[in-house]
Structure 1
């Protein structure tokens, strides 16, 4: 499988320097690329590695073109530098082009013979329903959508146009997935939220729990991507909402009645407790926790493994668990904390010195 560099350039823009008439057989990391590979440099720390790379074509920022062309031991056809203002963004769009044109996923519109589609479901003729999938009564699967093997679209749920459910995904009853969204394997959308009312057991033996039925749904916007084995709970009364462009990594828990603003991204193992409100264009690092009923403003960035224990009303970068603070203050406090034992010993020595 290969592509003409001229076709890639025509689709993605930028400026080519050096040899332009060549074919690219793969997109590769700098250290593993050969003369038929295309690599990229998006950060200054990788420029040292560029000098030793054998990548025939390298996407670079404009100020790195000379370095890319001056690499030693060029092949007979020479090197090529592809200058772009944002090499990482160009790389991202290049991977999409490559998947569509060079590594297309097999797709066969229609319903697999082993799938079950309820008589009251609406499945567009251009949709794809995979082996052993289940489409329940009243569900809607729009044009170009793909439902993977063993996935379930429950009653009255809706899958938007060109959305894709991988294998073993459940889209719960009354839930909606927007156009072009992607849900990876094992994810459950619309499980019951964690709602229970405590009551006293007879004889003063402690508390038990009465289930609160979760009567809301989950509404997911367009161009959302949800990783593998995530759980997004339905609302108790209203809906849990993920707005357009949200990106979730694997193993993320979104509690009932949470609202996540547009284009917010969360790394693996994030947990958001019920009724929290996350603004637009936020990021949450891996393992971060947001407690229930809190609010994060737009453009808030939470460091990995932080625990958000209060609402955050101002944009910025926040870190820590003792308690969470703006990142600059947290780093200063963390540096002081590392000296706490020595400071304690000095204080005890001063107290002994001044004792009567």
Structure 2
């Protein structure tokens, strides 16, 4: 599609400077864009690229507009507005229409209007898929599932029985929703599997990354509230509850029955132990290990920063002696305080 500077300004309620009839048909970075593409400046350290860019239109802030002589859109948040504009050029339409002849749909399943179901998909008994949702190839929907409207479920996704998916949810390839949680009971010298009888509920506007696993609850459901965004290869264990608008980066893991609040930012590789609570508006820096509940909003870190290997080895040895050193310091402080008290007397 092609769209002009004026049309973009009107559609996204932005001011503009330049040739209102100039059209673009795609997006690119400042360094790679051509005259038929739109770009953006959100970070001032890339401001020098404005002089060399060949972009047809640039989204930038009011304070930066004087640095650019070409066509531009003035934004209070250039990155957010770029994201909105970029959706115009995103191809989300399936490469097929209707239900593929190889798909297996249970007779009791209810399929809404304009639903596309790709090759070799399976939809189980009594499951429902609302209008305008798309299932790519080899998707499996178990029995008694409910899939909302305008969902995009990518290839090889598995949604096990009794799970509920909200509207406008995107689930990327290979994700598993509703696998059994890791529930085991010790019976003397052997393990007994604990049946996982709950399900998974995913709210509206969530996005689940590729090869991410969300386990079903043991009794109650595992829950993601609306607009939760999970990156690739994340593990969400049984009975976890994640609050609205929380974002988690790749390879993080949340153990069973943990509760994460709203508007949290969780970095890559973070681990959260089971049965803990993380309050709203918490940021966990990459590779942090959460071993106790967090009840105050803020940013938290827990891993040793990168060091040269020889320095790390020396410090690793010293870590073992921290408790002894702390005890010695306490004794010295006590002795010092006692001496001061005696001198006063």
TM-score (norm 2): 0.86
Distance 2:86 2:55 in 1: 16
| 2:29 match | 29
Report the CA distance shift for 1:157/1:106 in structure 2 as closer, same or farther (over 3 A).
closer
Kindly indicate whether the alpha-carbon contact (under 8 Å) linking 1:107 and 1:128 is maintained by their aligned counterparts in 2.
Answer: no
TM-score (norm 1): 0.84
Say yes or no: does 1:113 pair with 2:101: yes
Kindly indicate whether the alpha-carbon contact (under 8 Å) linking 1:242 and 1:260 is maintained by their aligned counterparts in 2.
Answer: yes
Distance 1:26 1:218 in 2: 38
Which of 72, 76, 83 matches 1:81? Answer: 72
| 2:259 match | 277
Q: CA deviation at 1:108?
A: 4.7
| 1:264 match | 246
User: Deviation string for 1:309-335 (max 9, x for gaps)?
Assistant: 11000110101147xxxxxxx9xxxxx
Distance 2:110 2:42 in 1: 45
| 1:91 match | 82
Kindly indicate whether the alpha-carbon contact (under 8 Å) linking 1:110 and 1:125 is maintained by their aligned counterparts in 2.
Answer: no
Q: 5+ unaligned residues in a row in structure 1: which ranges? A: 70-78, 202-207, 323-329, 331-336, 348-356
Paired positions, count: 315
Distance 2:211 2:103 in 1: 22
Kindly indicate whether the alpha-carbon contact (under 8 Å) linking 1:154 and 1:174 is maintained by their aligned counterparts in 2.
Answer: yes
Which of 147, 171, 174 matches 1:159? Answer: 147
| 2:294 match | 312
Kindly indicate whether the alpha-carbon contact (under 8 Å) linking 2:249 and 2:268 is maintained by their aligned counterparts in 1.
Answer: yes
Which of 218, 230, 233 matches 1:236? Answer: 218
Q: CA deviation at 1:145?
A: 1.3
Q: CA deviation at 1:31?
A: 1.0
Report the CA distance shift for 1:60/1:240 in structure 2 as closer, same or farther (over 3 A).
same
Kindly indicate whether the alpha-carbon contact (under 8 Å) linking 2:57 and 2:72 is maintained by their aligned counterparts in 1.
Answer: yes
Q: CA deviation at 1:307?
A: 0.6
Q: CA deviation at 1:7?
A: 2.3
Q: 5+ unaligned residues in a row in structure 2: which ranges? A: 306-311, 320-324, 326-345
List structure 1 segments (4+ residues) > 4 angstroms apart after TM superposition.
Answer: 337-341
Distance 1:241 1:280 in 2: 13
Say yes or no: does 1:51 pair with 2:51: yes
Q: CA deviation at 1:8?
A: 2.0
Distance 1:8 1:169 in 2: 36
Distance 1:254 1:247 in 2: 12
